[in-house]
Chains A and B, each alone.
Chain A
Amino acid sequence: MAQAPELKLTPTPGQTIGPFYGFALPYEGGEKLVDRAHPGAVRLHGTVYDGKGVPVPDSMLEIWQADESGQVPEKPGSLLRDGYTFTGWGRQAVDNAGYFNFTTVNPGATEPGKAPFIQLVVFARGLLNRLFTRIYLPEDTEALANDPLLASLPEERRRTLIATREEDGSLRFDVRLQGEGETVFLAYPRNGEA
């Protein structure tokens, strides 16, 4: 891949979401990208943990993903869902036990042979800047083996990015902010940092 061009402007610094976002950012239906009755509905759930393995009760997560056929959604309506339009984006504040629970669909591969994943961004009180990661679907082992990001990671780190498929079809993905099993968090080109 070619070198990304230099930025013209320096990005504004981020800051923590703080403790008091609950009355402002979460909204009715934010975690339901599709209705539970949707034929392809999948539960994506897990817990956010701190460096001592204690659940983080004041974290907010957002997911962003392609639809089941791998199309990138470009439709508005995430904040006032009509129950029919798949917008690809969802938001949920974790509960008092650090637990989250989205209803979505399995994303399709955006290009043939690519490993499908859901992009995740993590905010929390105590976390001074947002963290990005990917939630890979576990099934397409060949695509996972060919994925450039996963290939660049040692096995014990690689596995932090691959969701577990549970017996009922749910996807389980825990976020570990620090310490043993620490989730791999990502830096993208052109983020203005050296």
Chain B
Amino acid sequence: MTQDESFEPEAQEAYAHLDPAATADSQDTITREIQDLHAGYAAGREKGEAEETQPRVDFAPYRSSLLRHPTKSLHHADPETIELFSPAFGQRDVSPLEADLTIQHGGEPIGERIVVSGRVLDGDGRPVRGQLVEIWQANAAGRYVHKRDQHPAPIDPNFTGVGRTITGPNGEYSFTTIKPAPYPWKNHHNAWRPAHIHFSLFGTDFTQRMITQMYFPGDPLFPLDPIYQSITDQKARDRLIATYDHSVTSHEWNTGYHWDIVLTGSNRTWMENEEEEH
């Protein structure tokens, strides 16, 4: 086991000039901060530092992260029994109708009808079968059905933007929904989130639990968005972008996107094998 790095109280003071509630910063300021952090990562890579595959939790251009990230490094833990298993979900929990977000009300929602489908795999490439996938999103005008979302874009009475499904035998999932729009937020002046769908995922071990966001190809807001850019490595960022897939598009009905999700590696199998060997 590794010991933690020592706590640095000055880390917080270094951020004192950055008011988490500030909205006065310009996009240029945020973009420059993002570019500087990415340049630092690229320089480190050239010196042989490790490739990053996950977002940094300490990413100052996303102002809300300033006081909400641990300052100490994560502490290594060897998983114990409970951590080698995951809660079970099944047909009792989720109706097959919940995978279609366009049929939850009396009429058709407004917007571009899309199907998003793909597979949930673990880090060994094994399909994650029979597990819960949850999604939520804004509507075609960029508005969430959430009381705190005050963006003056219309709520669609025929669209809530919440879906659930249970993965199939090959880890496959498929949602029918409406393409969400970008929306403004208060990180800085004139801040806009690229269009995205939130995904919540479970694996075979609870240590694989994750929540992420799926984006659409070619979004011009990518370079401006500090949440997306908190992933400093382009290859890793690309893993959050769905692919337009004409085989998922269906005649006179919907366009289609494909997105596979890879969870971390299961520890159950190899640890059980190790126990048997002893």
Contacts and interface: CB of A to CB of B under 8 A. Distances in A.
A191 interface: yes
B7 A182 contact: yes
Contact of A194 (B51, B92, B134, B161): B51
Given A14-B212, A121-B206, A188-B77, A128 B59 contact: yes
Contacts of A76: 88-93
B258 to A, nearest CB: 14
A190 B123 contact: yes
B1 A11 contact: no
Contact of B207 (A51, A128, A132, A179): A132
Contacts of A7: 123-124, 264-265
Interface string A155-194: 0010000000000000000000111001111111111111
A24 to B, nearest CB: 3
Interface stretch (B31-39, B167-175, B229-237, B249-257): B229-237
Nearest to B162: A24
A182 B3 contact: no
A152 interface: yes
Contacts of A149: 1, 75, 77-78
B206 A23 contact: no
Interface in A10-51: 10-25, 50-51
Nearest to A24: B136
B14 interface: no
A65 interface: yes
Given A110-B81, A179-B12, A12 B125 contact: no
Main secondary structure of the interface of A (DSSP, over half): loop
B162 A12 contact: no
Interface string B33-66: 0000000000000000011111111010010111
A33 to B, nearest CB: 10
A119 B88 contact: no
Interface in A109-151: 110-111, 114, 117, 119, 121, 123-132, 134, 148-149
Nearest to A131: B70
Contacts of A77: 90, 92-93
B96 to A, nearest CB: 14
A33 B70 CA distance: 29
Contacts of B70: 131, 177-178, 182-183, 185
Contacts of A182: 7, 70-72
Interface of A: 1-2, 4-5, 7-25, 50-52, 54, 56, 62, 64-66, 72-80, 87-89, 107, 110-111, 114, 117, 119, 121, 123-132, 134, 148-149, 152-153, 157, 177-179, 182-194
6 contacts: A13-B53, A15-B212, A19-B148, A20-B146, A78-B93, A191-B265
Interface of B: 1, 3-4, 7, 9, 12, 20, 50-57, 59, 62, 64-72, 74-83, 85-94, 121-125, 132, 134-136, 138, 144-149, 160-162, 164, 198, 200, 206-207, 209-213, 227-228, 230-231, 235-237, 239-240, 261-267, 270, 274
5 pairs of A and B residues whose beta carbons are closest in the complex: A190-B265, A126-B64, A24-B136, A194-B50, A89-B87
